[in-house]
Amino acid sequence: MAEDKGEIYRISGPVVTARGISPRMYDVVLVGNEGLMGEVIELRGDKSIIQVYEDTSGIRPGEPVSTTGLPLAVELGPGLLTSIYDGIQRPLPVLLSKMGDFIKRGVSAPGLDHAKKWAFTPAVTPGTVVKGGQVLGTVQETTHIVHRILVPPKVKGEIATLTAGSFTVDEVIGTLKDGTPLRLMHRWPVRVPRPHHEKLRPEIPLVTGQRIFDGLFPLAKGGTAAIPGPFGSGKTVTQQQLAKWSDAQIVVYIGCGERGNEMTEVLTEFPHLQDPKTDSPLMERTVLIANTSNMPVAAREASVYTGITIAEYYRDQGYAVSLMADSTSRWAEAMREISSRLEEMPGEEGYPAYLATKLSAFYERAGRVKTINGAEGSVSVIGAVSPPGGDFSEPVTQNTLRIVKVFWALDAKLAQRRHFPAINWLNSYSLYGPILKDWYAHEVSADWEGLKAWTMGVLQKEAELQEIVQLVGSDALPQEQQLLLDVARLIREVFLQQNAYHQIDTFCPLENQLEILSAIRQYSTSANDALTREVPLEKILGVSAKEQLARLRFEPGFLEKMAATRKSMDKEFATMGGA
């Protein structure tokens, strides 16, 4: 399409007004003599309002503006995995090799490596009628991930030619009868959700190996979750644990507006994390999008759309994808800054009035779906929220809570007490519990839901008793309540606490989680029975098998040792006499 040329009329930070061009909403434009990339966000009479993805200092009215006639789109094809991008899919290692540590303005690089050749194996033959989303063939993208080459969503027809061999993403691998070329890569606009056949019920859990998530507040595959928490409460470590251990096959991590030192930590640690399932580097099934707080604000706003589009692409190949957005608060702040420069009517705390709509549109792109080619794929979205001062009543947290179905509330006080993961079990919730209970009953145990309800009941009763304990001390309580506090302590220390850096405790299979809770409930039932037989409380609290429970989760051969410990506990209680 021929470029439409105009000139800069007005500049306000990253928001530039141009005249003399006739673009459509969300078209990409090139601004100024350096050709800075921007996106049309408002059309006002003969003027176009553009948000520029780069620093605008030094440009002035009268400089040229040209429109490309195309919306912001990403390149989708083999080579996405192991990549580290900025918010508009420029590969950061490529930019580093071009200009060093600091990105200069007006520099661009394609999202995929256009020189690398990939070995393509066709899955269909000439004469086959295909439509958008169908699998043309496969490419071995990394050691353990097979990349399924898809027909672009809006393309359909009969295949005339399709060739096996080694190709770059630009080379033609085949053609349709009408002459349409087929390549390993296609482009897709980031603000448009990719099509699917139908959305499925979220009735399969995303198993994380983290006891507090799987046991009390589960997330479904294709579900949405929020992790709000103040600075230092463990958001980044929690998200790394979810990336490393959840049973999603592909991970997309968006560092959206985080501090440079935090993002550096992620970028240096992720490439060295080992995938426990394959013993390969975790990066082989990961895409990282890094957009720090000192990068241009408009690119921060675009980064979440870039990430979710890449996630949807792998979903369409039939993969389970988990997307981590860290943090949506910085994304909302970028929207607030651009909205104020557009002189829009502000909403609560200066955020734009459409904040809830934008958040909803982002989280709505999650889901477990039946793809156009008949496969099943999912995108699970886990958004970290950074409320100022840990205030959960601020607009971003509140609007997020109205949308997501799982709320994992990080608590600074728990983190200060060295209780990790610092998830507050009284404030957190999961609305997927009733939908997932059949899966847990069938795949783990019919007793799972009952154990979960019993555990939450004990923790809630402990919270009610804490006020009395702080006033008069635990010794003044009746013996039954003293025993309940001891059981609650066991739940907190043995089940809820988990060491992310311990080789064994970092991941806890569902059957181990079931055994831990069953053992704690067994202790509670036996101890209450002993109380009714008038066994002294001191004798009950001194049961030696109880103390072994805390150690077993750090030892190999867990299930065998737990069975022996539970037998030992039964013997101890059986031999206890009354007062």
- Whether 82 is covered by a domain: the verdict is no
Average the pLDDT over 446-474 and give the result. Answer: 92
Q: What is the rounded CA–CA span in Å between residue 424 and residue 369?
A: 32
Residue 1 has pLDDT above 60, yes or no: no
Q: What is the rounded CA–CA span in Å between residue 169 and residue 185?
A: 5
Q: Are residues 387 and 511 in the same domain?
A: no
Look up the domain containing 301 and give its range: 198-433
Q: Are residues 65 and 158 in the same domain?
A: no
DSSP state string for 181-236: EEES-EEEETTSPPP-SEEEP--SB---S-HIIIIIS--BTT-EEEEE--TTSSHH
- Whether 108 is covered by a domain: the verdict is no
Residue 99 has pLDDT above 80, yes or no: no
545-555 tens-digit pLDDT: 888 888 999 99
Q: Are residues 388 and 289 in the same domain?
A: yes
362-384 tens-digit pLDDT: 999 999 999 998 999 999 999 99
Average the pLDDT over 308-317 and give the result. Answer: 97
Average the pLDDT over 166-187 and give the result. Answer: 95
How much is the pLDDT for 472?
Answer: 85
**CB 431, CB 405: distance < 8 Å:** yes
**CB 398, CB 328: distance < 8 Å:** no
Share of the chain above pLDDT 70, in %: 97
Q: Are residues 121 and 208 in the same domain?
A: no
How much is the pLDDT for 212?
Answer: 96
- Whether 94 is covered by a domain: the verdict is no
260-294 tens-digit pLDDT: 667 777 777 777 777 777 778 888 899 999 887 66
399-430 tens-digit pLDDT: 999 999 999 999 989 999 999 999 999 999 99
How many CB atoms sit inside 10 A of residue 419's CB? 18
Residue 3 has pLDDT above 70, yes or no: no
CA–CA distance from 5 to each of 18, 19, 35 (Å)?
Answer: 10, 9, 12
139-166 tens-digit pLDDT: 999 999 999 999 999 899 999 999 999 9
308 pLDDT band, cuts 50/70/90, is very high
Q: Phi and psi dihedrals of 407, rounded to 5?
A: -125, 110
The label of the residue with tokens 């928001």 reads: 15
Q: Are residues 276 and 423 in the same domain?
A: yes
Q: Across the strands, what pairs with 391?
A: none
Mapped onto helix, strand or coil, the DSSP state of residue 113 is coil
pTM of the prediction?
0.92
Q: Are residues 168 and 230 in the same domain?
A: no
How much is the pLDDT for 276?
Answer: 72
**CB 559, CB 515: distance < 8 Å:** yes
Residue 388 has pLDDT above 90, yes or no: no
- Between these two residues, 266 and 574, which has the higher pLDDT value? 574
Residue 179 has pLDDT above 80, yes or no: yes
How much is the pLDDT for 2?
Answer: 43
The rounded Cα 386 to chain-centroid distance in angstroms is 15
CA neighbor of 361 nearest in space, from 381, 346, 336: 381
Residue 197 has pLDDT above 70, yes or no: yes
Could you give the number of structural domains in the chain? 4
Q: What is the rounded CA–CA span in Å between residue 79 and residue 85?
A: 12
How much is the pLDDT for 450?
Answer: 96
Q: Are residues 372 and 520 in the same domain?
A: no
Q: What is the CATH number of the domain that holds 60?
A: 2.40.30.20
How much is the pLDDT for 491?
Answer: 97
Mean pLDDT (the chain) is 91
- Whether 538 is covered by a domain: the verdict is yes
Q: Label each residue of 236-280 as H, E or C.
A: HHHHHHHHHHCCCCEEEEEEECCCHHHHHHHHHHHHHCECCCCCC
Share of the chain above pLDDT 90, in %: 69
